[in-house]
Amino acid sequence: MSFKVIVLDPTEGCPASKIADEQIVADFKDEAAIMRLAEKCDVLTYEIELANSSALKQLEEKSYPVRPAPETLRIIQNKHRQKSFLKEHRIAVPDFELVKSEEHLHELCRKFGLPAVLKATEDSYDGRGNFVIKSGDDVHRAYEYFKGRQVMLEKFVPFTKEVSIMVARNPSGQIESFPVVENIHKNSILDTTIAPAQISRKVEQKAIRLAKRTMEVLHGAGIFGIEMFVTKKGDVLVNEIAPRVHNSGHYTNEACSVSQFEQHLRAVLDLPLAKPELLSPAVMINILGPEGFDGVYAVTGLDAMMKVPGAELYIYGKKVSKPCRKLGHITATGRTVKEALARAKKARNAITLVPATEAR
């Protein structure tokens, strides 16, 4: 689209800087740096929930276009605020309640039943802010784990599948959704996304309606990843919302008529949104930093990986590997979901992340 792109990131030489026209090196919450960015841009957007919503709100009040809106970010940044907002707008979510004390946590565990999920309300992602309480013996340890942080207890949903939808809305009010996909998590971190989700047409339509309704009440402008639970009865509940391009939407690069990235740009610039079509089944598998290693890394096994038909490798360019850090992903397409899944697994198993000193 030939736009000039300026990024703000605390890491000099961050992955985005390699393709951007300019980088401002500063913390995501640095108000002065955010103002410098705004003065250089026609439209501001963000790719991380840690962005400074209050600073962005001040910019919006000075007529700088910020999309999604700072108020949307403020709602989503706090999980209790997010769930409360959805509940107020009659969008189905799991039962939840703020925890006032350790004794109160015991009471809530009795009220909701076990297992239940204790969640930090802010600054948590990829499972880092979750603690599954499986028995009464876990309560003290869980409470101490989050000591000093605001937490809420959420009733455990015995889901049959976890699904998500990428859905975009522009300021003019046009809303377009991508296919419903199925997500498989390991240790609360997304491992695999399967497109399309293997669900009934009825459940699919419920999920799409719920996603579009969520975008309407949030007045979202941009692309959002909306994660949901599907229950045994076929009910669909919203789990979490990401106001940005999302891991579970990476398959759109190869498998859809428009990618989540292009759709996001269309949305924040108030251009007409494309109507996404799934061109072929696809599977995305994340590449995470291995346990027990923290440092500069290299990727081995590329020859074997490149021989897998329909498979594409993305390495993000993060300089350092850390345990469970998202460093890249593999997407594979196929004539069927089964074929795409087999190809994605074969491609993922072909590569290994090793310390750079061990690479040839």
User: Does residue 164 carry a pLDDT above 90?
Assistant: yes
Q: Tell me, what CATH number does 40's domain have?
A: 3.40.50.20
What pLDDT shows up at residue 124? 77
Q: How many structural domains does the chain have?
A: 3
pLDDT at 127 (0 to 100): 66
Residue 188 lies in a domain: yes
17-57 pLDDT, tens digit per residue, is 999 999 999 999 999 999 999 999 999 999 999 899 999 99
C-alpha dihedral sign at 185, 190, 191, 194: positive
Tell which of 77, 110, 134 closes a domain.
Answer: 77
For residue 359, what pLDDT is reported?
Answer: 75
With cut-offs at 50, 70 and 90, classify the pLDDT of residue 187.
confident
* Interval 67-75 mean pLDDT: 97
Asked whether residue 165 falls in the same domain as residue 225, the answer is: yes
User: Are residue 105 and residue 170 in the same domain, yes or no?
Assistant: no
Q: Is residue 89 part of a domain?
A: no
Please say which residue of 77, 105, 123 terminates a domain: 77
| Residue 130 placed within a domain | yes
Which pLDDT does position 198 carry in this prediction? Answer: 97
Which position has the token pair 């690069």?
253
Region 83-108 average pLDDT? 98
Give the CA distances from residue 245 to residues 48, 242, 251, 293, in Å, rounded to whole numbers and listed in that order: 9, 8, 12, 28
Q: Say yes or no: 184 and 272 in one domain.
A: yes
Q: How far apart are CA 76 and CA 90, in angstroms?
A: 16
Share of the chain above pLDDT 90, in %: 95
Per the annotation, binding residues for ATP are 79, 119, 154-157, 162, 185, 239-240
To 5 degrees, how large is the angle CA 121–CA 122–CA 123?
A: 140
Tens digits of per-residue pLDDT, 284-303?
999 999 999 999 999 999 99
CA angle at residue 240 from 236 to 245, to 5 degrees? 115
Nearest alpha-carbon partner for 325 in 338, 334, 315, 335: 315
Residues 338 and 251 in one domain: yes
Whether 344 and 217 map to the same domain: the answer is yes
User: 77, 109, 130 — which closes off a domain?
Assistant: 77
154 DSSP β-pair partners? 96, 117
Nearest to 192 by CA among 128, 247, 239: 247
CATH code for the domain of 136: 3.30.1490.20
Q: Where are the beta strands (DSSP E) in 13-79?
A: 22-25
**Percentage of the chain lying above the pLDDT 70 cut:** 99
Q: How confident is the model at residue 360 (pLDDT cuts 50, 70, 90)?
A: low
**Is residue 332 domain-shared with residue 344, that is, in the same domain?**
yes
Confidence of residue 358 (pLDDT cuts 50, 70, 90): confident
Residue 224 lies in a domain: yes
pTM: 0.95
Strand 6-9 and strand 22-25: the pairing is parallel
Instruction: Identify the pLDDT of residue 123.
Output: 83
166 in the same domain as 135: no
pLDDT for the residue 180: 99
Give counts: helices (H), strands (E), the chain.
11, 18
Does residue 86 sit within a domain? no
| Nearest CA among 247, 49, 238, 284 for reference residue 166 | 247
346-354 mean pLDDT:
97
Task: Output b/e per residue, 75-84; b: 16+ Cβ within 10 A.
Answer: bbbbbbebbb
**123: DSSP letter:** S
194 band by pLDDT with thresholds 50, 70 and 90: very high
Q: Are residues 170 and 70 in the same domain?
A: no
Cα distance between residue 129 and residue 305, in whole Å: 34
Pair (190, 222) in one structural domain: yes
Assign residue 173 the CATH number of its domain.
3.30.470.20
Q: Is residue 83 part of a domain?
A: no
Residues near 159 by beta carbon (within 8 Å), at least 6 away in sequence? 229, 230, 231
State which residues form the domain around 119: 95-155
Q: What is the predicted pLDDT for the residue at 126?
A: 66
Q: Are residues 171 and 150 in the same domain?
A: no
Mark whether 180 and 317 lie in a shared domain. Answer: yes
Q: What is the mean pLDDT of residues 225-244?
A: 97
Do 119 and 186 sit in the same domain of this protein?
no
- Confidence check: pLDDT of 64 > 80: yes
Amino acid 98: pLDDT: 98
Binding positions: 79, 119, 154-157, 162, 185, 239-240
Q: How open is the CA angle 88-91-95, to the nearest 5 degrees?
A: 80
Residue 112 pLDDT level (bands cut at 50, 70, 90): very high
Whole-angstrom distance, CA of residue 257 vs CA of residue 302: 28
Give Dmax (Cα) for the chain: 58
- The answer to whether position 87 is within a domain reads no
Assigned domain for 196 exists: yes
Q: What was the pLDDT predicted at 128?
A: 75
Q: Which amino acid is at 30?
A: D
Q: What is the pLDDT of residues 246-284, one digit of tens each?
A: 999 999 999 999 999 999 999 999 999 999 999 999 999
Backbone CA torsion sign across 7, 11, 16, 19: positive
pLDDT band at residue 13 using 50, 70 and 90 as cut-offs: very high
